[in-house]
Structure 1
């Protein structure tokens, strides 16, 4: 059972100092496309997932956008609560996935949140890594993705510190409170990323339930 309470005012981050934006040779992925990460970068093993966004409005309270990861089996379900890595569970049980902290403002340039993943250390039962953005709205202020712009998702090879590819989401997600960015899937010895960019209505609660996580009563989108 997971606790989604995310109270607090300040960012709590331990971001990896990756600054290689728009790396020469970096691939830009479009919605609906897939990319074989292993063929593109055969040396890829330990990666950092970086996500960023900007707010359209700065008056009033800041909007808290959160990045989460779900480690899924062949049935698209988590095996245990620890397969859900997010602001209240910053690392998976096996240590292969580590969330670097929660940005509650989205302020500044570059990545707002990062997640470090050792692909080779993942249990064999984990065949898919799903990436989700959601808006934390404990007080039900009707915050949604109409208030967010310039959303991107990128993967960096930690060994070379070079950006491998980037997925930029330019379309309006409307009243959605969650966003299924896409997933990395193990196919044989290869890792393949599939760019989805699908809106989620119901936010983090909806997708967590779909992936087999039992949620507490105080969850909000």
Structure 2
């Protein structure tokens, strides 16, 4: 079965599958040193110890549950998994491909062709799935190919194919590991691996997304509104909301000269929080939300009051020629009264990007495109069931899909002043 990018498939459901082999293949000049590897991740989407990174230098983990080795035939490398030995604490296993010192030598994923990964039933030698990827990559030096993850007691596979800059170091940083500097023997000096933080890496991915959408010179203020109603408790506690703040901050860093992300939270009340910046985003949610006793938390949802405060900030308190791009995270649908607020704000230089997460039907938000009474369509809705598992590349692609269209129409209609 040939898979496409973003596809999720059952691997073990309905099958007596005990041993799985993931085999990698590619074509490239011999000058390129290409390596396959994988990261064993906890529920926080992080490697909890160095040994959870499996590659040629650490070829086995989990008491033989995951092993790295060479493949036969046209395949280059393989990672074998004994599923019964993988502990319940393992939520997912991410598979990657990297070019060793690619940026140093000027080698990139655009120089590699025919990249694929195959999932094999190792006991029967049967190929279950095949995923071909990489046609949309250019200057990246690392790829998260896909991930094996638990779902309702079974294993599923998610095809990703997302590129990273910074090679192996960028992947390790993304999954919570630190690459120690290497030392050359002649002369004796420290050769530093790219020391890019996760926010730096995400800024690069945003930049690539903007280039693809021809938005490199766009300037805007960026706001983030976070649902903190009762159903969101787990996402605040397990670090998912902190990840959201960091991911959206990367957008603000590219749009806003001050590299500042304005933040609101709301349930049946709302609070305007301290802005997030690159200097203080670490532990932002814990410091400014979870440990903040002045914030009302985990009540019912009521969106219009916080939306009106967003409008007040950007159009009255801080009036500017710069438009505002407001990302609104919600996990349970919204009250119908938001329609009136959206219609009234259609004359303002403000775009609402609603993001629904979880399993709700989001009936009101699905009607945004057909909402009448607006001079311009000033709102968009996307539904991401599991925001923790979507790649940065795909998230930014979806977030920034409608905004450039609004910018053009709003400028033509003089909603945005030049």
TM-score, with length taken from structure 2: 0.42
Matched residues in 2 for 1:184 and 1:93: separation?
16
Higher fraction of strand: 1
Q: Provide the residue aligned with 2:38 in structure 1.
A: 69
CA RMSD of aligned residues (A): 2.0
Per-residue displacement from partner, 1:158-206 (whole Å, max 9, x unpaired)?
Answer: 1111001000115131000001101000112211100011111111101
Q: Provide the residue aligned with 1:148 in structure 2.
A: 112
Give the match's secondary structure for 2:9.
strand
1:50 aligns to 2:3 (yes or no): no
1:204 aligns to 2:168 (yes or no): yes
Contact 1:205 1:220 in 2 (8 A): yes
Which ranges in structure 2 are unaligned for 5 or more consecutive residues? 183-191, 195-418
Higher RCO (C-alpha under 8 Å, 6+ residues apart): 1
Contact 2:12 2:156 in 1 (8 A): yes
Structure 1's 147 and 220: CA in aligned 2 closer, same or farther, altered over 3 A? farther
Per-residue displacement from partner, 1:88-109 (whole Å, max 9, x unpaired)?
Answer: 11111422011014x9xxxx95
Contact 1:145 1:172 in 2 (8 A): no
Structure index of larger Rg:
2
Aligned length: 185
Per-residue displacement from partner, 1:95-139 (whole Å, max 9, x unpaired)?
Answer: 2011014x9xxxx95210011111121011001000010000278
Structure 1's 95 and 109: CA in aligned 2 closer, same or farther, altered over 3 A? closer
Give the match's secondary structure for 2:40.
strand
Structure 1's 190 and 172: CA in aligned 2 closer, same or farther, altered over 3 A? same
TM-score, with length taken from structure 1: 0.78
Greater than 4 Å deviation, 4+ residue runs: none
Higher fraction of helix: 2
Matched residues in 2 for 1:123 and 1:170: separation?
31
Contact 2:62 2:86 in 1 (8 A): no
Q: Provide the residue aligned with 2:82 in structure 1.
A: 118
| Aligned 1:1-221 pairs, distance under 5 A | 27-39=1-13, 42-55=15-28, 58=29, 62-101=31-70, 110-137=74-101, 140-218=104-182, 220=193
